[in-house]
Chain A
Amino acid sequence: MVNVVPIRKNSMTAIQSKVWSAMLAEMAVTKDKSLYIQLYQHFAPKVKAYITRLGVMEATAEELTQEAMLNMWRKSHLFQPEKSAASTWLFTLARNQSIDWMRKHKYPEYSLDNMQGGIEEVSETDIGEQSVQSERIAQAISQLPENQALVVYMSFYEGRSHSEIADRLMIPLGSVKSRIRLAAEKLKLTLRGELSLGGEQ
């Protein structure tokens, strides 16, 4: 096994995450339906929970989840395990599916046309690193100060813009943005391994 991170008490989650990413990368190549079934059973409840949190009705959330999970199969060739963990890619599929439905417009996506270097050959280490990062971030989010965690959740789980958050929390727009900046900075430092978990807030 590739030794990518120091052993921590939650490393089991990281290993699981790595397995899912490797599985998705393999499914993209082999189109093996038994892999798809395992991925579906793991991710579909998460995707549905995320979509439901955005305020979508049960029946619609079910339908959007199905579409997102179908896209996991149809677009699997676009999954880049060296760039993101399986959960990260699934998040973007679920986000786009739900926003497109809510707004009746396609959420503008950035193009990968100009990506330098194209698709890279993926090593087991690459997959491991992205998956471990995902686990580290989850832990880091739980350690954010409450006012920063709140704007993270309101952005991701409720899809609220800066001004909507400002109105709702009755704070200036600038305060919303600085809280998001602080939270993002801390989470990214954690991601890069420059901030230890359980450390200062």
Chain B
Amino acid sequence: MNINHHLDEATLFSYVAGALSQGMALVVASHISICDSCRERVFETEAIGGALLDDVVNDNSPDSSSVSVKVNETALEQVLACLDEEAPVTTPGKIPPDGESTVGNTSEVPAPLRDYIGGSLDAVQWKRLSSGFYYFDVFSEQRGICRLLKVAPGKSILHHGHHGNELTLLLRGSYADEVGRFAQGDIADLDDQIEHQPLVDGDENCICLVATDYPLRFTTLLGKVIQPMTGF
């Protein structure tokens, strides 16, 4: 897959730190699963986490950031007693819901997203928003959203900005906006500095996974009027 738009370093860093909202973490994990270069960057960033773990308790250093924590003495015995117990070794994010992995074009749905929507974009229970616009809420968030959007060719999303971050992963089709042109696998990693109006420029539906950590900031009166109805 030819991916031209990648994750911002700050987003990738917070994902590794475990500091992203559930929705944004899902978009990031989905992109990383299909993007070799971002995955390499993740490995590097995880090493920072390892170094912090190494440093959090360091008996050799009087560093004030280090804390002394003792583990309950019987804890080791308890955990040793569990070692021989059979445990299902599951790797989260790798196992699609039963029976759905073979339906449709699974390569369009990155593995982490498969846990939530199954293996086919065509099997999603789309809800109509308006003519040419469909959505499916992957799950609801406290402040932002995490949803799939399906937009027909030639349609444009109302001009808007952001109060916080907005992550968009292209799963099918393409769109163009003030930032550039985005196609399958690309990620648009935007923040409150960007205002844009994405236009679906191909001849097929554009399907993307979008997560925000704040409601959008529509710049037109129409956008402001319909915002409560759209859930954005």
How many of chain B's residues touch chain A, expressed as a range? 35 or more
The CA of A178 and the CA of B193, in the complex, are separated in Å by 12
Whether A62 pairs with B13 at a CB distance below 8 angstroms is no
Please, which residues of chain B bring their CB within 8 A of the CB of A13?
54, 60
The CA of A134 and the CA of B60, in the complex, are separated in Å by 16
Please, which residues of chain A bring their CB within 8 A of the CB of B120?
none
CB-contact partner of A174 in B51, B54, B91, B191, under 8 A:
B191
CB-contact partner of A73 in B25, B42, B48, B83, under 8 A:
B83
Q: Which residue of A lies closest to B93 (CB)?
A: A109
Chain B CB within 8 A of A170 CB: no
Whether B19 pairs with A41 at a CB distance below 8 angstroms is no
Whether A156 pairs with B191 at a CB distance below 8 angstroms is no
| A to B contact number (C-beta, < 8 Å) | 234
Please, which residues of chain A bring their CB within 8 A of the CB of B92?
96, 106, 109
The CA of A83 and the CA of B52, in the complex, are separated in Å by 17
Whether B29 pairs with A44 at a CB distance below 8 angstroms is no
Please, which residues of chain A bring their CB within 8 A of the CB of B83?
33, 36, 70, 73
Whether A133 pairs with B47 at a CB distance below 8 angstroms is yes
Total number of A residues with any Cβ neighbor in B under 8 Å:
88
Say whether, besides A84-B46, A162-B165, A138 and B54 are in contact (CB < 8 Å).
Answer: yes
Interface centre among B44, B47, B60 (most CB of A within 10 A): B47
Say whether, besides A50-B53, A91-B46, A108-B93, A163 and B214 are in contact (CB < 8 Å).
Answer: yes
Say whether, besides A107-B18, A110-B93, A50 and B112 are in contact (CB < 8 Å).
Answer: no
Whether B57 pairs with A108 at a CB distance below 8 angstroms is no
Nearest CB in chain A: distance from B97 CB, A: 14
A 142-156 contacts with B by CB, 8 A: 142, 152-153, 155-156
Interface string of A173-186 (1 = CB under 8 A from B): 11011101101110
Please, which residues of chain A bring their CB within 8 A of the CB of B76?
37, 40-41, 44
Q: Which residue of A lies closest to B78 (CB)?
A: A66
Please, which residues of chain A bring their CB within 8 A of the CB of B176?
none
The CA of A158 and the CA of B17, in the complex, are separated in Å by 9
Chain B CB within 8 A of A120 CB: no
Please, which residues of chain A bring their CB within 8 A of the CB of B223?
none
Q: Which residue of A lies closest to B38 (CB)?
A: A110
Say whether, besides A75-B89, A134-B47, A187-B48, A70 and B192 are in contact (CB < 8 Å).
Answer: no
Whether A181 pairs with B165 at a CB distance below 8 angstroms is no
Whether A70 pairs with B82 at a CB distance below 8 angstroms is yes
30 A-B pairs within 8 Å (CB atoms) are namely A13-B54, A13-B60, A33-B80, A41-B76, A49-B57, A66-B75, A70-B82, A77-B89, A85-B47, A87-B51, A88-B46, A89-B50, A90-B53, A91-B52, A91-B53, A94-B53, A103-B22, A110-B42, A113-B94, A130-B47, A134-B50, A134-B51, A135-B51, A135-B54, A155-B17, A156-B17, A156-B18, A156-B52, A159-B17, A163-B164
Interface residues of A (CB under 8 A from B): 13, 17, 33, 36-37, 40-41, 44-50, 52-53, 62, 65-66, 69-70, 73-75, 77-78, 83-92, 94-96, 98-99, 103, 105-116, 130, 133-138, 141-142, 152-153, 155-163, 172-174, 176-178, 180-181, 183-185, 187-188, 191
Q: A70-B87, A87-B51, A141-B48 are in contact. List 6 more A-B contacts (CB 8 A).
A: A85-B50, A88-B51, A95-B49, A114-B36, A137-B47, A162-B164
